[in-house]
Structure 1
Amino acid sequence: MILSHMQIEYIENSLSLHGVTSKDLRDDLLDHICTYIEARNSNDFNASYQEALQKFGGYNSFQNLQRESIHQRFVKQALTIHKLKFSFGVLVIVLLIIGFVFQIMHWPYANAWLLSAILVAALVILPIHCYAQYKKSIHHHC
């Protein structure tokens, strides 16, 4: 069975109406459902569509997939943010050590090294940390 443009649009609208808001997930589900229906040797679109829905777990399964994909995207972003904080934290520690060594040895620019460590902490790490906490609070409310 070859699906018409109206039938494909019907499936896409149905997925949207049942809470599949992620465009990527909706496109993937639409592709799988259409492929399943077209592979069937049936001329009854409604029966084939209902069978495809049952085969892929129904609308509740689609919403669970969407929640899982949102959660995985959040975890990936959180891991990236964690790596950034760690990297800049190491940079701050290195700058502090260099600054303290310069201070102990009474070499010039000791204060510049210490100030750069403070600036990196205040202007990079602190905003990244606040952003991470904000994203975490939004995710926990979903």
Structure 2
Amino acid sequence: MKLNSEQEKAIEEYVDAQGLKIQTLRDDIIDHLCCVVESELGKGKPFDQSFEQAILDLAPDGLLEIQNKTVFLLNSKRIIMMKKLTYLTGLLGAVALTAGVTFKLLHMAFATELFMLGFLLLLLVFIPLLAIDRYKVILSKTISVRLKFISGVAAAVITGLSAVFKIMHLQGADLLLLLGAFLFAFGFLPFYFFTMYKKSIA
């Protein structure tokens, strides 16, 4: 049994409301849903029930999950390499930072160099790479959640840089600290408490 124009429009509107960004995937999903629903209608089932079951069978976790998996498969090598680099720099940074602190306490050579290497690896490589990876997960979230994430990461990196400047006695440490504190207080915190409030009344 063929779908009428209103039923086809209902399927298209549902798919479009999910926020899919890959046009070819969007078209394929609509075609698939239309075919499945038409088949079920031919068995005498009502449209609403057939459509709901077709969506549940295709994407129990939502259509965006299909898009995420598609993007991962299309970019799997690059994504895996980025994840390896992220966690490798995190490991090396943490080891170097730990060694630097230990060497400092034992008054051994290269303590400051190891500490700074670890600190910079974590601050300038690991945290930004991890933030980029996590940001892809929250792209489908509200603008307040995304702004909270961006302002929080920026505040952390800038504040960390101010500590590096302070340790190395470089100019601009106080300015960076003020900027980091400003971003944290007037960027991250308002969005953080706003999202907490939204969750509490949901």
TM-score, normalised with respect to structure 1 = 0.49
Larger relative contact order (Cα-Cα within 8 Å, sequence gap ≥ 6): 1
Superposition TM-score, scaled by structure 2 size: 0.36
Structure with larger Rg: 1
